[in-house]
Amino acid sequence: MDRIRLVGGNELRGEIPISGAKNAALPLMIASLLTREPLILENVPRLADVKQLERILENHGVDIAVHGRRRGADQMDGQRITFTAGEIVDTCAPYELVSTMRASFWVIGPLLAREHEARVSLPGGCAIGTRPVDLFLYGLKQLGAEIEIDGGYVVAKAPKGGLVGGRVSFPKVTVGATHTVMMAATLAKGTTIIENAAREPEIGNVARCLVAMGAKISGIDTSTLVIEGVDSLHGATHEVLPDRIETGTYAMAAAMAGGDVLLRNARAEHLQSALDVLVQAGAHVSEEAEGLRILRNGNGIQPVDIDTEPFPGFPTDLQAQFMALMTMSGGVSRIRETIFENRYMHVAELARFGADIRVEGQLATVTGVPALKGAQVMATDLRASVSLVIAGLAAQGETIVNRIYHLDRGFERLEDKLSRCGAEIERVSG
């Protein structure tokens, strides 16, 4: 099993290209199930989760063609992939495929909308809480779906004639259910109104793709989406937006290690709350024509308190990375995790570096220490994995990060990107 080996102490200087957003690429790939015509996606990241979803879509009958790299393109530029779901050959998403990745459950919306039936295994994925699917099922029921649970599978059927538009008022913000109901509603008869919809940039990216495919959606980037159902969607070409979580991760890595890094293609408006926190922590953040520049030379890291919140608040997917940064702040910081109930599993591993962290329920109190020391650590989930890399960049001596298959799910060629900027980091096989 592969591991990451790194030796801390080097400043980061150079340029890091930001890949396409995993959290947009996956639902965009799933949207290909809504049309018989080809959907061409550009800037698709090379990730384990993308490959796994390709397997799931192929099981449904989607033909997938990966285009070759264009002349002059950087080896880290995103992929161009065509998805053609000319015929859905199977409306079942089996346990052995869905159990490894939660987002694969989202196929239930397009399958139900187009084929009027779906049998989808209850999902798996990172162990960061129960993450129930009740809001998915609630939303689909509001569109007329008949749903039952049978042997660990969600069995959904649309009444004769298909789904029907309805009002879906989510009791709390939910990204996955917003994606799923929005996709399903594009082919429902009549008007669907989604209230308290998630406003994450990835939702808007998918909505704009659906519009390019012929969907009628208004209220994009707001908490109320109005979808006028159409009889069918057509093909389109669409670009995956840059990954704001990868952007925030490398920004925090630069703030942790010190130096001067340009995050190429990054967009400040997609994570302004996290950038504001970085500035409070002592980093200099500036927008440039090619992306975002993160600079920290000689200044100490200042303690900052945060609460994780739905967009536009501080993202839960950056909480672990920010905690790693705060382990070397010049004081006490407090982090309140409000999205998931079990997202502090990285705390025990950060403690192996010598970090001083106390957890009481949703609240983590981090008392900065003068130095971290390299250690053998183990990744527990995708975002926790990269927090250990961030700590290792500033730790004294050698750090080994084990179980990095979690990293490969969400970060494309992380060791290559960091080594380009001067980090002593490598992947070790076996």
The per-residue pLDDT for range 333-357, each reduced to its tens digit, is 999 999 877 778 899 999 999 999 9
Give yes or no: 126 in active site.
Answer: yes
- Percentage of residues in the chain having pLDDT higher than 90: 84
30 close to 57: Cβ distance less than 8 angstroms:
yes
- Which pLDDT does position 70 carry in this prediction? 64
pLDDT at 313 over 70: yes
Please list, in sequence order, all residues whose beta carbon lies within 8 angstroms of the beta carbon of residue 386, skipping any fewer than 6 positions away.
249, 320, 321, 407, 410, 411, 414
Say whether both 310 and 232 belong to one domain: no
Q: List the alpha helices (DSSP H) in 186-271.
A: 201-212, 244-257
H or E segment at 394?
helix 382-394
Query: If you count them, how many residues does the chain have?
Result: 430
Structural Rg of the chain based on CA atoms:
22
Q: Is the pLDDT of residue 393 over 90?
A: yes
Predicted local distance difference test score (pLDDT) of residue 223: 98
Contact 262, 15 (CB under 8 A): yes
Residue where a domain stops, chosen among 239, 271, 299: 239
User: Are residues 259 and 231 part of one domain?
Assistant: no
Peptide bond into 312 cis (omega under 30): yes
Q: Is the pLDDT of residue 152 over 80?
A: yes
Handedness of CA 180, 273, 239, 222 (dihedral sign): positive
| Phi, psi values for residue 18, rounded to 5° | -90, 125
43, pLDDT greater than 50: yes
Residues 135 and 166 in one domain: yes
One domain, residues 166 and 251: no
CB of 382 closer than 8 Å to CB of 129: no
Mean pLDDT of the 270-274 span: 97
Whole-number percent of the chain with pLDDT over 70:
96
- Which residue in 92, 126, 209, 421 is the catalytic one? 126
80 and 152 in one domain?
yes
Same domain for 55 and 123? Answer: yes
Q: Give me the number of domains the chain comprises.
A: 2
Say yes or no: 89 and 210 in one domain: yes
Angle at 95 between CA 52 and CA 403, to 5 degrees: 50
322 belongs to a structural domain? yes
Does residue 247 form part of some domain? Answer: yes
Model confidence at 19, pLDDT cuts 50, 70, 90, reads very high
8 Å CB contact between 62 and 32? yes
| Same-domain check for residues 253 and 219 | no
| Same domain membership, residue 275 and residue 380 | yes
- The reply to whether 385 falls in a domain is yes
pLDDT at 376 over 70: yes
Distance CA 348, CA 262 (A): 32
Question: Is residue 15 in some structural domain?
Answer: no
Specify the pLDDT at position 73: 59
Out of 205, 239, 273, pick the residue that ends a domain. Answer: 239
Burial of 268 (0-12, 13-18, 19+ CB in 10 A): middle
| 10 inside domain | no
Asked if residue 37 belongs to a domain, the reply is yes
Q: What is the DSSP code (8-state) at residue 91?
A: -
pLDDT digit string, tens, across residues 98-130: 888 888 999 999 999 999 999 999 885 444 344
Buried b vs exposed e over 97-106: b needs ≥16 C-beta within 10 Å? bbebbbbbbb
In a domain, 135, yes or no: yes
Q: Could you read off the pLDDT of 202-225 as tens digits, one per residue?
A: 999 999 999 999 999 999 999 999
Which pLDDT value is given to residue 101? 83
Question: Cα(9)–Cα(424) distance, rounded to whole angstroms?
Answer: 9
Same domain flag for 192 and 231 = yes
Mean pLDDT of 142-157: 94
Under the banding of pLDDT at 50, 70 and 90, the label for residue 71 is low
The CATH number of the domain holding residue 193 is 3.65.10.10
Q: Which residues are annotated as a binding site for phosphoenolpyruvate?
A: 22-23
List the domain range (segments joined by +) for residue 269. Answer: 242-396
Residues 30 and 148 both lie in one domain: yes
* Residue ranges at the known binding site: 22-23, 102, 131-135, 317, 339
288 falls within a domain: yes
What is the reported pLDDT for 150? 92
Residue 191 has pLDDT above 80, yes or no: yes
pLDDT: is 222 or 96 the higher one?
Answer: 222
Q: Are residues 347 and 381 in the same domain?
A: yes
Question: Do 55 and 97 meet the contact criterion of CB atoms below 8 Å apart?
Answer: yes
Q: What region, left, alpha or beta, does residue 250 occupy, with left being phi > 0 and alpha being psi -120 to 50 degrees?
A: alpha
Q: Please, which pLDDT band fits residue 248 given cuts at 50, 70 and 90? A: very high
Of 239, 261, 296, the one marking the end of a domain is 239
